[in-house]
Chains A and B, each alone.
Chain A
Amino acid sequence: MPAPFLDRDLYVRPIDAYIDPPVPRARAIITHGHADHARSGHGAVLATPDTIAIMKARYGEDSARQFQALEFDTPLVVDDVTITLKPAGHILGSAQVLMEHQGQRIVVTGDYKRLPDRTAQPFELAECDLLVTEATFGLPVFQHPDPLDEIGRLLRSAAAFPDRAHVIGCYALGKAQRVIALLRDAGYDAPIYLHGAMIRLCELYIARGIPLGELKPTLGTSKTELSGQIVIAPPSAIKDRWSRRLPDPVLAVASGWMSVKQRARQSGVELPLVISDHADWNELRQTIAETKAGKIWVTHGREDALVYHCRQQGLEAEPLNIQAFEEGEEGEPDAPGESES
């Protein structure tokens, strides 16, 4: 293929725009609302309506000079580049960016997953010449189980310990709503209690047409009332003073990282739930093959193993090493973070 019209820092040369730039830029295309992809201070932002709503809720109405909404699967011609946002299945509004220019097709996946999730528009495959793929779970040890099985483990534990609260550490955007939706789909219809940091984004999801059932704040709820209940909180809160208001809590964390038991054990997680909003190793490989791309750039995660795999398959592959701080699911932040107390 001819030299890509996309630079390695995801700068789209023909239209002078960046995809998910980590610093303020004049023109930005944003794949989804997580803070390592969407930040405030850009000039013009192009994104899906859901992503724009999330950015405005998190950073304020004027967090970019100008927002331009683009529906999924609706080609937009900018100069001689045609941009189409394809659903990525990661969180509400998350998109892959498909760009066509002089016969060359490039897809930037952003973060994505292919398992069904009713809180996000389902992933659509787009064939291309150059694929820029995420690699958060780019190691063969990451083979995500069926999330409903994981929810089953949570519900069994809740039944086994009726006097304890189950507190689930999840990110406020995406994971929290996914876990709530999975609980509802599994038939759990009791109120689910929310740490203060979760409330605003759950309300946003509901307002945008994702029903989540009855939600209540933990603030002002007595310890007795929380016995036997399920509570959703940011990971930083479950190990901090905030959790003392809960009756003998079972600490659960919902994340793709939880598959490694020895890690879960070391971080004091009693009930690891392997629920991920990213593609696992098998989905990453499947997607790379199905896009029929001959050239692969790997970013956001464990690039080494996926680059190695692509080269074994005879594909041209390189790591991008884009510097980004991770919100997504990486690690366990120790910062006091979003605290209610």
Chain B
Amino acid sequence: MRRFAQLMELLALTPSRNRKLEALTEYFRETPDPDRGFALAILTGALTFKNVKPAILRDVVLAEVDPHLFALSYDYVGDLGETIALIWPHHGGTEPLPSLSDLVELFNMTSKTELPRLIGSLLTRASINERWALVKFATGALRIGVNARLAKTALAAMSGKELQEIEEVWNGLTVPYTDLFDWLSGKAGRPEIDHTARFHPLMLSNPIDEDKDLEKLDPADFVAEWKWDGIRVQLIASKGRVSLFSRTGDDIAAAFPDVTESVFGDAVLDGELLVGPDFEPLPFNDLQQRLNRKVAAAKHLADYPGFIRVYDMLFDGDEDIRALPWSERRQHLENWFDKNPQTRLDLSPVLSYRDWEDLAEIRRRGAAEQGHEGVMVKLRAAPYLPGRPKGLWYKWKRDPNVVDAILMYAQRGHGKRSSFYSDYTFGVWKGNEIVPIGKAYFGFTDEELKQLDKWVRNNTVASFGPVREVSKELVFEVAFDSAQQSGRHKSGIALRFPRINRIRWDKPASEAATLDEMQVFLTAT
């Protein structure tokens, strides 16, 4: 437990991703089975204890601490787990805490009535730092800035395996992952996983370089589809069980029961998760209402019904068709749809075009009239390969929109940038006033950052905590993918993916854009 507590503290406090990664790698390398497996499970959210709920911990503490003093303390600390760890009044720790695997055993085997006494004695035995880690371990509420992907990346670093290989087996594994660690340390072969439960890494595209790529590519060898503005998903339907994974292999089925319960037939499909009635996609903002939720709210199910626009097939029934060319996979996919009528899945249509110029025009009109992000261009002969293979799939995004906006506020960044004002809020004219339209923190070089930092410090007109308001003089050319109406911002506009394209040291603020001029960017959807 001591080693785990040290790891947790380092993960919580170091802002550097690389250093977190090093700490995790070292921990997984040094810690024996099955403890490291339990640590991995806690870090990836795969382990919870049915009976150990925050309410029980709270009751254990309230038996020892005055409730009013507890309430004042909780109010100050703001985190229940941390309040419990800090406020526990007994310190008797001479005997070390049990190992992680013994703790798991204890939490699982102890009856509900005995649990308070067990937790009390563990809290007393723990050092201050261990107590903090113990509460986090018991409740699973970590809040230390580590996600499953980072933990898996550390496993890859530790073993020399590709992250993708680990993701491929991940969803078929069980805690404490002894077979995984055996494989990673070379003691055993790769764990055998039933494909129907497992995530298959996705095939990704490269951006097209209009000047170089197009002349070399024969339009007749390729097909095109719209680039849909949702999230990439993999749907696995097998023998009545349906799983839904995000592009990183996270299981998101629970948030989309409307989709998973509707699926008919067996297959592994690749497509875009969207929301909207009758297969009419709503803006990405609406989809966001349904993401990152453990369960779907009834209101969201009604207002933002989910559907998947399918563009590829990896398994037809039980048959692995990934090695077949796109054209044959597409045939399988269309046949599958004919055999298995769907209510929440549809096919991403193939666009017909004569040559690249024609497709460029389709892309431009699609962006202007329907708000499409761009088109996908795929080689007809390409097999389905995981990762980002060259020359098979391209994304051809619409030209970014640009607007000249005025810097209004600057805020200090994080980590390496914590002494720099690197997060910028910018706005446009609305009559004689400037209203904010967005915030960006990249798009400039380190050298430009130094210049901007200096400019911010020399032109500050007011400070609010970490934020400085600057005199409204500096113009940024801001690029963004799209603009949407938003009730949240005073300007009524929200930008998608804004970044600083250029710093216009030369341009006077009076020549920056107006809110009226921004209206043309609002997408039609």
Contact = CB atoms under 8 A, between A and B. Distances in A.
Contact of B12 (A141, A142, A265): A265
Contacts, number: 76
Contacts of A141: 73, 76-77, 83, 86-87
16 contacts: A139-B72, A139-B73, A140-B89, A141-B73, A240-B419, A243-B419, A260-B77, A261-B12, A261-B13, A265-B145, A270-B14, A271-B13, A272-B13, A302-B72, A308-B66, A308-B69
Interface in B67-86: 68-70, 72-73, 76-79, 82-83, 86
Contact of A308 (B68, B77, B83, B89): B68
Contacts of A145: 128
Given A139-B73, A259-B86, A265-B12, A334 B466 contact: yes
A145 B72 CA distance: 21
Interface residues of B, number: 35
B89 A269 contact: no
B465 interface: yes
Most B Cβ at <10 Å: residue of A145, A262, A269: A262
A260 B418 CA distance: 21
B525 interface: no
Interface of A: 139-143, 145, 239-241, 243-244, 251, 259-262, 264-265, 268-272, 302, 304-305, 308-309, 312, 334
Contacts of B357: none
A239 B15 contact: no
A269 B76 contact: no
A309 B414 contact: no
Contacts of B69: 139-140, 305, 308-309
B446 to A, nearest CB: 12
B297 to A, nearest CB: 28
Given A260-B86, A308-B68, A312-B66, A268 B418 contact: yes
A276 to B, nearest CB: 14
A71 B414 CA distance: 49
B419 A140 contact: no
B143 interface: yes
Contacts of A260: 77, 82, 86
A334 B69 CA distance: 30
B82 A262 contact: yes
A268 B86 contact: no
B106 interface: no
A261 B465 contact: no
Contacts of A139: 69, 72-73, 76
B72 A304 contact: yes
Residue among A243, A312, A334 having the largest count of chain B Cβ atoms under 10 Å: A334
Nearest to B467: A334
Contacts of A239: 412, 418-419
Interface in B1-43: 9, 12-15
B73 A264 contact: no
B127 to A, nearest CB: 8
Nearest to A161: B19
Given A145-B128, A334-B465, A261 B9 contact: yes
A262 B77 contact: yes
Interface string B407-419: 0000010110011
Contact of B87 (A140, A264, A309): A140
B199 interface: no
Given A269-B13, A308-B72, 20 more contacts: A139-B73, A141-B77, A143-B89, A143-B91, A145-B128, A239-B418, A244-B419, A260-B77, A262-B82, A262-B143, A265-B12, A265-B13, A268-B15, A302-B76, A304-B72, A305-B69, A308-B68, A308-B69, A309-B66, A334-B463
A150 to B, nearest CB: 10
Nearest to B466: A334
Given A139-B73, A145-B128, A262-B143, A270 B15 contact: yes
Contacts of A259: 86, 128
Q: Identify the 7 closest CB pairs spanning chains A and B, nearest first.
A: A141-B86, A141-B73, A305-B72, A141-B87, A140-B87, A262-B79, A139-B73
A143 B86 contact: yes
B132 interface: yes
B26 to A, nearest CB: 10
B65 interface: yes
Which interface residue of B65, B72, B145 has the most chain A CB atoms within 10 A? Answer: B72
A262 B68 contact: no
Contact of B82 (A261, A269, A308, A334): A261
A251 B418 CA distance: 11
Most chain B CB within a 10 A radius of its CB, from A145, A270, A271, A309: A270
A268 B16 CA distance: 11
B65 to A, nearest CB: 6
A140 B65 contact: yes
Interface in B182-230: none
Nearest to A312: B66
B9 A262 contact: no
Q: Which of A139, A239, A305 counts the most chain B CB atoms within 10 A? A: A139
Contacts of A272: 13
Contacts of B144: 265
Nearest to B66: A312
Contacts of B15: 268, 270
A280 B502 CA distance: 53
Q: Which of B9, B86, B463 has the most CB of A within 10 A?
A: B86
B277 to A, nearest CB: 41
Interface string B356-398: 0000000000000000000000000000000000000000000
B128 A262 contact: no
A272 B15 CA distance: 13
A140 to B, nearest CB: 5
A243 B91 CA distance: 38
Interface string B136-180: 000000011100000000000000000000000000000000000
Nearest to B89: A140
A271 to B, nearest CB: 7
Contacts of A268: 15, 414-415, 418
